[in-house]
C-alpha cells in the first residue's frame, strides 16, 4: 500500500549529498512530493527535508540513506500522523484557550494528552473541551519538590512535546534535561530583548515602538533557547505597559500556534542555538 513519509536529514556537509539522497529515492521508485535543503556554510552543516510517497519499508529506507550520508548524519523517516502534547499552564487563558479551540476544530495536528497547572484557575475552561486537567500546587514546597511531582505526572503520558502555555515558572536544569528539545515556550517579548519577568513593563520603560512574542525551545539559559517563531505589534507613546500587555496577548497566542504547527509538521531543525525551518 502506498504511503508517505517526511525524511529529515542533518549532517556534516559533503559534495553530492542531494544527488546521493535523491538517487536512493529514485532507485526505490519513490516520488519526491516536496523537497527543501540548506547548507550552513559557517559551520559546514547540511539540512534536508523531503516528503516522499510510494511503497517502502521505513527501516530499510533509513538503512539505505545511512550508507550515502556522512557518519554523523541524523536521519529521521517519519510517517505523518498527529503528534501528542502535554500542556503546562498557570493562570492566563489566552494561549491555552487558542490551542484548545484549534484542537477542538481539528486544526492543531496533535492530541492534547492533558493540561497540568500549578493553579486551578483554568480547570473549568479545560474540562469544557473534555481534556484531562491536573492541579499540582506549588505551595509550601521547593521548586525541586514541585517539579518532581510535575515530572512524575508528565511521565504517565506518551507525548512528543511539552508546551508551556504561559507557564510562568522557571524550570530547573533537571526538568529541562529530562526532555531535551521537547519543551516549547511562548515568551511575551521579541527576544533577545527584555528577557525574564514583566517584559512589557521593561519595553514600556525603554520607550520601544514595537512589542512582540517569541516561541522557542527551552534550555537552561532563561529565554535564550533556539527560536522557532516570532512576530511584532506596533505600539506608541499613548499606551501604558498594561495596554501593551493586553495588545501583546493576541501576538503571543498566534506565535505559539504558528510554532506548534511548524514543530508538529516536522519542519524545524535545531542548529546549535538557532533553528533551520522549512
Is the Cβ–Cβ distance between 33 and 53 less than 8 Å? yes
Helices (H) and strands (E) counted in the chain, each on its own, are 8, 13
CA distance 107 to 102: 5
CA distance 228 to 272: 13
- Grid coordinates given for 276: 533551520
What separation in angstroms does the CA of 123 have from each of 21, 51, 89, 130, 140? 49, 39, 10, 11, 21
* Pairing outcome for strands 83-89 and 161-164: parallel
DSSP 129: T
Catalytic residues, by residue number, are 223
CA distance 74 to 91: 39
- Host H or E run for residue 259: helix 241-264
Residue that has been written with the C-alpha cell 533557547 in this structure: 225
CA distance 255 to 98: 11
What separation in angstroms does the CA of 50 have from each of 28, 47, 243? 15, 10, 44
Residue that has been written with the C-alpha cell 539522497 in this structure: 21
Amino acid at each position: 500500500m502506498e504511503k508517505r513519509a517526511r525524511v529529515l536529514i542533518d549532517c556534516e556537509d559533503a559534495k553530492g549529498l542531494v544527488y546521493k539522497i535523491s538517487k536512493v529515492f529514485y532507485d526505490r521508485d519513490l516520488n519526491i512530493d516536496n523537497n527543501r535543503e540548506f547548507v550552513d556554510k559557517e559551520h559546514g552543516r547540511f539540512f534536508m527535508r523531503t516528503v516522499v510517497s510510494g511503497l517502502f519499508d521505513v527501516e530499510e529506507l533509513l538503512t539505505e540513506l545511512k550508507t550515502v550520508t556522512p557518519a554523523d548524519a541524523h536521519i529521521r523517516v517519519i510517517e505523518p500522523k498527529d503528534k501528542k502534547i502535554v500542556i503546562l499552564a498557570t493562570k492566563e487563558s489566552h494561549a491555552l484557550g487558542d490551542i484548545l479551540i484549534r484542537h477542538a476544530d481539528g486544526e492543531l495536528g496533535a492530541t492534547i494528552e492533558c493540561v497540568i497547572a500549578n493553579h486551578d484557575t483554568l480547570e473549568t475552561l479545560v474540562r469544557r473541551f473534555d481534556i484531562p486537567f491536573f492541579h499540582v500546587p506549588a505551595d509550601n514546597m521547593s521548586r525541586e519538590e514541585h517539579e518532581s511531582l510535575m515530572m512524575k505526572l508528565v511521565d504517565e503520558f506518551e507525548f512528543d512535546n511539552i508546551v508551556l502555555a504561559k507557564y510562568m515558572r522557571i524550570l530547573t536544569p533537571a526538568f529541562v534535561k529530562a526532555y531535551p528539545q521537547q519543551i516549547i515556550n511562548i515568551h511575551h517579548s521579541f527576544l533577545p530583548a527584555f528577557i525574564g519577568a514583566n517584559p512589557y513593563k521593561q519595553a514600556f520603560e525603554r520607550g520601544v515602538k514595537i512589542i512582540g512574542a517569541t516561541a522557542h525551545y527551552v534550555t537552561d539559559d532563561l529565554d535564550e533557547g533556539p527560536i522557532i517563531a516570532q512576530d511584532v505589534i506596533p505600539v506608541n507613546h499613548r499606551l501604558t505597559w498594561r495596554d501593551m500587555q493586553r495588545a501583546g496577548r493576541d501576538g503571543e497566542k498566534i506565535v505559539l500556534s504558528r510554532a506548534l504547527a511548524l514543530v508538529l509538521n516536522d519542519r524545524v531543525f535545531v542548529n546549535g542555538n538557532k533553528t533551520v525551518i522549512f
